[in-house]
Structure 1
């Protein structure tokens, strides 16, 4: 048997990646399929010949998971704080039942506003994380990635990231 030279191996790997990406794109809902043309898939496959892109995407996903966990903990802390505030009012022996009802009502309004402000802050942090990821992938030269706040384009980018992660878990057969 003869030994394949590097360009031949790369070419076969590229064909495999393009074929896998096309299969994945076919499974997308039609409104996303039309936003993922063959040229984009081909460019992405070419970019994925460099294993670094897989590492970048995995790193971004790890950072995102840590960030999401941190934000979730912030939300839980606020919920627990609110429960303790309510319990303090309920356990206060110095006030009447009517006063407790009034204080709880007032507290609920304050807590509602506080929750709303925290939620806005969490959403802004998540939006910033999306922008950071878009910038990183754009700077790495990954096709299909640029900074956008358009929900449809972000969803397409999410599908592309999913494709990259799925491909990173595949073993590319060299006997194609």
Structure 2
């Protein structure tokens, strides 16, 4: 149910937190490995301008708008997930989204993830092509040997060729297994990078975990953020 303005005001009055404004930016550094992610704080200001009543009102109005939109979007998620999202959690998420910084962070993470996925896919395709070339070379080598082989050596030659083919198949399977293991490890690390970045950015529900249920919850939270970002972008709000 979308909250009333009175409920919203009550929520604001019960919040007891210190809001610290930080500016963050992303840097992708190849020196630390492919597509390494950094969330770097810019230099903090020694003093902050006073918040006017007008700014405070706009802040509260935007918070109320975001909170209402999130409550509407939550209804499209599985009921089991809806039950885990308290009013307070949605309010905290709305606060995190007020200035649009989190939108930029999430988009940056997605861009880096897509680059990583493309890079890993290209690596696997390259390995596949190398394996195909090795198999084709072996077939040609075996064909040439059979054509020039004397009949009394044919049985021995075929036995040796069978051994070479089996050895190549074992090599191919092992290299594919190692590549897939590498891909899984890099994608797991990417998830950890994303969790850590979003936790530092103050997005509720994000912390480093491998629990499948918690991962699903975090994916749903990202879906909420992306849907709200898309809606605001289409309406010209951001």
TM bin, normalised by shorter chain, reads 0.7 to 0.9
TM-score normalised over the length of structure 1:
0.87
How far apart are residue 66 of structure 1 and its match? 0.5
Residue 103 of structure 2 is aligned to residue 54 of structure 1: yes
Residue 134 of structure 2 is aligned to residue 73 of structure 1: no
How far apart are residue 144 of structure 1 and its match? 0.9
How far apart are residue 108 of structure 1 and its match? 1.6
Moved more, 99-108 or 79-88: 99-108
Residue 218 of structure 2 is aligned to residue 157 of structure 1: yes
Q: 1:30 aligns with which of 79, 86, 97?
A: 79
- Segments of 5+ residues of structure 1 without an aligned counterpart are none
Moved more, 55-64 or 90-99: 90-99
How far apart are residue 22 of structure 1 and its match? 1.6
- Segments of 5+ residues of structure 2 without an aligned counterpart are 1-52, 147-156
TM-score normalised over the length of structure 2:
0.66
Q: Which has the higher helix share?
A: 1
What is the correspondence of 1:87-166 to structure 2 with a 5 Å cutoff?
Answer: 87-92=136-141, 93-95=144-146, 99-166=160-227
Q: What is the CA–CA distance in structure 2 between the aligned matches of 1:151 and 1:100, rounded to whole Å?
A: 47
Q: Tell me the residue number matched to 2:58.
A: 9
Corresponding residue SS for 1:69:
helix
Moved more, 91-100 or 25-34: 91-100
Q: What is the CA–CA distance in structure 2 between the aligned matches of 1:88 and 1:46, rounded to whole Å?
A: 62
Larger of the two Rg values belongs to structure = 2
How far apart are residue 7 of structure 1 and its match? 2.5
How far apart are residue 70 of structure 1 and its match? 0.4
Q: Which has the higher strand share?
A: 2
Q: Which has the higher contact order (CA 8 A, sep 6+)?
A: 1
